[in-house]
Amino acid sequence: MKTKLLLTLLASIVIASCATVATSPKAPSDAEVTAALKASFKETASAKIDRLDQSELQRACSVASETGKDLDPKVREALQAKSLASVKYPADGKYLGDWKRGEAIAQSGRGLQFSDAPGAAAGGNCYACHQVDKAEISHGNIGPTLWNYGKLRGNSEAIVKYTWARVWNSHAFNACANMPRFGDAGILTEAQIKDVMALLLDPESPVNK
């Protein structure tokens, strides 16, 4: 009786093991995942398939995130240096536009979606991640507060150029930053970035009151 029961239990274990093997397929490769994603989408208006193509920096940061490991310091330094070199500063040497237009850009989250015509002006959606104007109580906290940004930092040439570079390509200072590359990725125009700069640095902006 005991032998029969033991054999029955062993058979159950073998059957369960086979079922587990049968229902645990091999994980797809990165290339297979990318191919599946590209096959699942189609280009519509401003939404293009090439958004799925990763840059060298994005691939490095994706691997670091998947493995739970920090980027190698030398790799991080090289990627950040390359990002900083990509920054295009204003050809006319003027960095500040109109802070009122900058506030409208910071509030707007539209643009670059399937329903937006190619070339249509996009917003910065800054409030999704930052506190900007203290009068606006609806804001995210993924990024640091920008309240009193210019008042605390001043408007020296170093600060102005740093701020421009940070908005243009945030990866210049943090390789795996979550902040969009507003200039480098063509999200905002040079004129729009000047307006956002004014929102942050103009003494008359409500940000600095």
Are the C-beta atoms of residues 179 and 189 closer than 8 Å to each other?
no
Which one, of 137, 111, 136, lies nearest residue 125 by Cα? Answer: 111
pLDDT bracket for residue 23 (50, 70, 90): low
- In this structure, what CATH number is given to the domain that contains residue 152? 1.10.760.10
Q: Is the pLDDT assigned to residue 3 strictly greater than 70?
A: no
Mean pLDDT of 153-166: 97
Would 158 be classed as within a structural domain? yes
pTM for the full model? 0.81
Would 160 be classed as within a structural domain? yes
Query: What's the pLDDT score for residue 142?
Result: 94
Would 123 be classed as within a structural domain? yes
Would 125 be classed as within a structural domain? yes
pLDDT bracket for residue 24 (50, 70, 90): low
Would 182 be classed as within a structural domain? yes
The three-state secondary structure class of 15 is helix
The three-state secondary structure class of 44 is strand
Query: What's the pLDDT score for residue 63?
Result: 92
Would 39 be classed as within a structural domain? no
Write the pLDDT tens digit of every residue in 105-120. Answer: 999 999 888 888 888 8
pLDDT bracket for residue 50 (50, 70, 90): confident
The total number of structural domains in the chain stands at 1
Identify the domain containing residue 152 by its residue range. 99-208
Task: Of 111-115, 153-157, 203-207, give the lowest mean pLDDT range.
Answer: 111-115
The three-state secondary structure class of 195 is helix
Would 82 be classed as within a structural domain? no
